[in-house]
Amino acid sequence: MPERVKKFKEEREKLNKLILGRDNLDIKRFFGIDGSVYRDGALTARTKEMLGLTASLVLRCDDCIAYHLIQLKQLEVADKEFDEIMAVALVVGGSITIPHIRRAYQLWEELKG
């Protein structure tokens, strides 16, 4: 795992811990759903992570994109599959998504290690 990714995950964990430590029940429940919604069901976790990535791309959230890329790499998504997710997001979301797509390709390469 590249250094940049390790740091991203550590920062994420540290702040999640801070948030969940506050004991706000609604926030805790939301974080619970945010985990369970991507688990295998009628659709595979793999497909759901692809849905999450596409949503993150068109909503232009770099941290969310990074998170789903890491998941999809572990689930062994192929380059050609990755390209086609990028293409759908680009067409739906327009050129405004391009800076995020650039950073997604950059991270995807780094994740190949």
Contact positions toward its own copies, by CB under 8 A? 12, 15-16, 18-19, 22, 24-27, 29-30, 32-34, 36-38, 41-43, 47-48, 50-52, 54-64, 78-81, 83-99, 101-103, 105-106, 109
Give buried/exposed letters for 65-104 (b at 16+ CB in 10 A, else e): bbbbbbbbbeeebeeeebeebbeebbeebeeebeebbeeb
- Closest to 66 measured CA to CA, from 55, 51, 56: 56
> Residue 79 is which amino acid?
D
Shortest reach from residue 33's CB to its own copies, in Å: 5
CB 102 within 8 A of CB 110: no
Specify the residue, 74 or 106, whose C-beta has the smaller distance to its own copies: 106
Shortest reach from residue 17's CB to its own copies, in Å: 10
Shortest reach from residue 74's CB to its own copies, in Å: 18
CA atoms lying within 13 Å on the CB side of residue 68 = 25
Specify the residue, 3 or 23, whose C-beta has the smaller distance to its own copies: 23
Shortest reach from residue 111's CB to its own copies, in Å: 14
